């Protein structure tokens, strides 16, 4: 069978085309800009950097909401319903960045997500971007921060970041959003759902989903249990007390209340200066992340390291070299390269 020859666009656009297209809210250009920013190729990175610099002054003006929860909690369905609420009840637009840690292997669950946002997917005022997580930070795409910025420059006023609650991903998403929401299931077990102390301290709100049909009473009971559990924690520095609500992403009950909570939180942290504080701390996190990513990449691409690594790994495995000595040696190789004058 012959493949249809696709009219092929140039791989990269001129910088101005990206800038103009994104600022005009052109979705195709926005999608291409995100692909550029996500790329590992040096030539793409060289173009992505000035693009981000140019767009930065146009970014920042959105509500960034992180949504986490175990697989099956209903995150995608919730976002579909919330997105429709934003568009049709609030007259707003919405960008959804859905990060799927399983996608690098299967590729399948991204499609699953897409079908679960099927109402939102056909809306002109919604932009949905699934991103492969590629193993980084246990479920947050490496360039989610940059992608948020691009969506903001394209005029999206609400950015919803969906991530599966696995370990580090909550911390990562918390560190790039203004409001962090945990979606829970009644009766699924606290440990399983990440109700460790660390998570609770990061939350701005919790929603018990699937409060419908037979699940309604259970959800209400869970709500009051979690609400009293949350009250055991000291009030956070921002002056906000995290709330627990119930909702049904299927029939839409409770969704408007959850959004009202997000808006109330927004009003508070805008007026008490905490939003600016949170974002400036996040800017520092972002810088650190860029440095760490760069170091990791240099390490991966370093030839002296690559030449030495297999043997050292073997020696560490066999117990002939200590991990400490091996680690130091590898870092030493990286440093000597970085400083060699004839590079």
Ligand X SMILES: Nc1nc2c(ncn2[C@@H]2O[C@H](COP(=O)(O)OP(=O)(O)O)[C@@H](O)[C@H]2O)c(=O)[nH]1
Q: Judged by CB under 6 A, which of 34, 248, 269, 312 binds ligand X?
A: 248
Q: What angle do CA 121, 57, 160 make, to 5 degrees?
A: 30
Q: Which stretch binds ligand X (CB under 6 A): 11-19, 85-93, 125-133, 205-213?
A: 205-213
- Tell the smallest beta-carbon distance from residue 138 to ligand X (Å): 16
Residue 40 vs residues 44, 97, 134: alpha-carbon distances, Å: 7, 19, 12
- Residue 147 binds which one of ligand X, Mg ion, none, with CB within 5 to 8 A depending on kind? none
| 3-class DSSP state of 243 | strand
- Residue 63 binds which one of ligand X, Mg ion, none, with CB within 5 to 8 A depending on kind? none
Check binding of 174 to ligand X (CB under 6 A). Answer: no
- Tell the smallest beta-carbon distance from residue 159 to ligand X (Å): 17
Q: Under rule CB under 6 A, which residues in 99-128 are in contact with ligand X? A: 116
The CA distance from 333 to 307, in Å, is: 10
Check binding of 75 to ligand X (CB under 6 A). Answer: yes
Pairing of strands 179-185, 158-164: unpaired
- Tell the smallest beta-carbon distance from residue 251 to ligand X (Å): 7
| 3-class DSSP state of 40 | coil
Q: Judged by CB under 5 A, which of 12, 63, 64, 75 binds Mg ion?
A: 75
Of all residues in this chain, which one has the CB nearest to ligand X in the complex? 74
User: In the structure encoding, which two tokens stand for residue 25, read together?
Assistant: 């809210």
Residue 339 vs residues 290, 332, 334: alpha-carbon distances, Å: 20, 11, 9
Q: Judged by CB under 6 A, which of 76, 158, 163, 177 binds ligand X?
A: 76
Q: Which stretch binds ligand X (CB under 6 A): 58-66, 186-194, 242-250, 318-326?
A: 242-250
Check binding of 250 to ligand X (CB under 6 A). Answer: yes
The total of other beta-carbon atoms located within 10 Å of residue 279's CB is 15
Report yes or no: 93 and 86 within 8 Å, Cβ to Cβ.
yes
Check binding of 25 to ligand X (CB under 6 A). Answer: no
Check binding of 163 to ligand X (CB under 6 A). Answer: no
Question: In terms of C-beta distances under 8 Å and separation of at least 24 residues, what long-range contacts does 224-229 make, across chains too?
Answer: 226/184, 229/200
Q: Which stretch binds Mg ion (CB under 5 A): 105-113, 195-203, 267-275, 286-294?
A: 105-113
Report yes or no: 99 and 144 within 8 Å, Cβ to Cβ.
yes
The CA distance from 94 to 342, in Å, is: 50
Under the rule (CB under 6 A), what is the footprint of ligand X? 69, 71-77, 116, 209-210, 212, 248-250
Under the rule (CB under 5 A), what is the footprint of Mg ion? 75-76, 113
């Amino acid at each position: 069978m012959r493949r249809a020859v696709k009219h092929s666009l140039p791989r990269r656009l001129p910088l101005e085309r990206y800038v103009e297209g994104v600022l005009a809210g052109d979705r195709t250009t926005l999608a291409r800009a995100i692909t550029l920013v996500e790329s590992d190729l040096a030539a793409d990175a060289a173009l992505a950097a000035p693009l981000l610099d140019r767009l930065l002054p146009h970014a920042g003006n959105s509500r960034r909401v992180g949504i986490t929860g175990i697989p099956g909690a209903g995150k995608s369905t919730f976002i579909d319903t919330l997105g429709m609420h934003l568009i049709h009840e609030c007259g707003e637009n919405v960008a959804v960045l859905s990060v799927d840690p399983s996608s690098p292997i299967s590729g399948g669950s991204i499609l699953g997500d897409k079908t679960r946002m099927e109402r939102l997917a056909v809306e002109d005022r919604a932009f949905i971007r699934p991103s492969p997580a590629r193993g980084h930070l246990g479920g947050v795409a490496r360039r989610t921060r940059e992608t948020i910025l691009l969506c903001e420059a394209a005029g999206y006023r609400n950015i919803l970041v969906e991530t599966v609650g696995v370990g580090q991903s909550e911390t990562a998403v918390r560190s790039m959003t203004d409001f962090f929401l945990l979606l829970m299931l009644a009766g699924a077990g606290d440990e399983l759902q990440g109700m460790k102390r660390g998570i609770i301290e990061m939350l701005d709100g919790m929603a018990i989903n699937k409060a419908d049909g037979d699940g309604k009473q259970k959800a209400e009971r869970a709500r009051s249990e979690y609400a009293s559990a949350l009250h055991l924690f000291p009030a956070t520095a921002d002056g906000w007390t995290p709330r627990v609500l119930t909702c049904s992403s299927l029939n839409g009950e409770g969704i408007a209340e959850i959004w009202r909570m997000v808006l109330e939180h927004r009003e508070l942290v805008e007026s008490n200066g905490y939003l600016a504080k949170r974002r400036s701390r996040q800017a520092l996190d972002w810088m650190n992340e860029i440095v760490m990513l760069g170091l990791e990449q240099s390490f991966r691409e370093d030839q002296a390291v690559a030449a030495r690594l297999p043997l050292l790994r073997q020696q560490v495995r066999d117990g002939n070299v200590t991990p400490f000595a091996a680690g130091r040696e590898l870092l030493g190789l990286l440093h000597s390269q970085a400083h060699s004058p004839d590079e």
